[in-house]
Copies of this chain bind each other. A is one copy, B any other.
Amino acid sequence: MTVTWETKERPMLKERQDASLPDRVARSAAARREGTVPEVLGWLERRRTEVLFAVERIPFDALDGWSFASETGNLVHRSGRFFTVEGLHVSVGEQPTRAEWHQPIIVQPEVGILGVLAREFDGVLHFLMQAKMEPGNPGLLQLSPTVQATYSNYTKVHKGTAVRYLEYFTDPSRGSVLTDSLQSEHGSWFHRKRNRNIVVETVDPVAEHEDFRWLTLGQIYELLRCDNTVNLDARSALAGLYAPDTPGALHSDTELLSWLAAQRSVTPIRGERVPLAGLPGWKRDSSSVDHEEGLHFRVVALSVQAGNREVTSWTQPLLEPREHGVVAFLTRTVEGVPHVLVRARAEGGFLDAELGPTVQCQPGTYAHLPATDRPPFLDLVRTAAPSRIRFAALLSEEGGRFLNAVSRYLIVEADESDAPFDAPPGFRWVSRDQLAALTQYSHYVSIQARTLLLCLNTLEAAS
Task: Point out residues on A near B: beta carbons under 8 Å.
Answer: 1-3, 6-7, 11-18, 94, 109-111, 113, 151, 155, 172, 177-182, 194, 196, 198, 247-255, 257-259, 261-262, 264-265, 268, 270, 332-335, 337, 351-352, 413, 415-417, 421, 431, 434, 440-444
Q: Is the CB of B258 within 8 A of A198?
A: yes
Residue of B with least CB distance to A5 = B416
Residue of B3, B18, B113, B248 near A15 (CB, 8 A) is B248
As for how many copies of this chain the complex holds, the number is: 2
A255 and B1 contact, Cβ closer than 8 Å, known pairs A250-B14, A335-B11:
no
Instruction: Known A-B contacts: A1-B415, A182-B265. Give 9 more (CB < 8 A).
Output: A2-B417, A6-B416, A17-B247, A180-B257, A180-B262, A181-B261, A182-B264, A196-B265, A441-B441
Distance to closest chain B CB from A193 (angstroms):
11
Q: Is the CB of A12 within 8 A of B351?
A: no
* C-alpha spacing A243/B357, complex, angstroms: 34
A3 and B111 contact, Cβ closer than 8 Å, known pairs A180-B261, A182-B261, A248-B15:
no
Main secondary structure of the interface of A (DSSP, over half): mixed
CB-based closest 9 A-B pairs: A13-B248, A180-B258, A177-B258, A111-B265, A16-B253, A441-B441, A2-B415, A2-B416, A180-B261
Q: Which residues from B are CB-within-8-Å of A177? A: 254-255, 258
Q: Which residues from B are CB-within-8-Å of A251? A: 14
* C-alpha spacing A7/B12, complex, angstroms: 46
Q: Which of A11, A262, A337, A443 has the most CB of B within 10 A?
A: A262
Chosen A-B contacts, 22 in total, with CB atoms closer than 8 Å, are A1-B332, A1-B413, A6-B334, A12-B250, A94-B155, A109-B268, A110-B268, A111-B265, A151-B265, A172-B258, A172-B262, A179-B254, A180-B257, A180-B262, A181-B257, A182-B261, A182-B352, A194-B352, A196-B265, A264-B442, A351-B351, A441-B441
Q: Which residues from B are CB-within-8-Å of A151? A: 94, 265
Residue of B1, B113, B247, B440 near A265 (CB, 8 A) is B113
* C-alpha spacing A11/B250, complex, angstroms: 10
Q: Which residues from B are CB-within-8-Å of A417? A: 2
Residue of B with least CB distance to A6 = B416
Q: Which residues from B are CB-within-8-Å of A194? A: 352
Distance to closest chain B CB from A339 (angstroms):
10
Residue of B110, B253, B255, B335 near A94 (CB, 8 A) is B110
* C-alpha spacing A136/B416, complex, angstroms: 54
Distance to closest chain B CB from A218 (angstroms):
23
Q: Which residues from B are CB-within-8-Å of A254? A: 18, 177-180, 440
Q: Which residues from B are CB-within-8-Å of A15? A: 247-248, 252
Residue of B with least CB distance to A414 = B1
Residue of B with least CB distance to A94 = B151
Q: Is the CB of A198 within 8 A of B261?
A: yes
* C-alpha spacing A439/B334, complex, angstroms: 29
* C-alpha spacing A198/B264, complex, angstroms: 13
Residue of B14, B179, B270, B434 near A248 (CB, 8 A) is B14
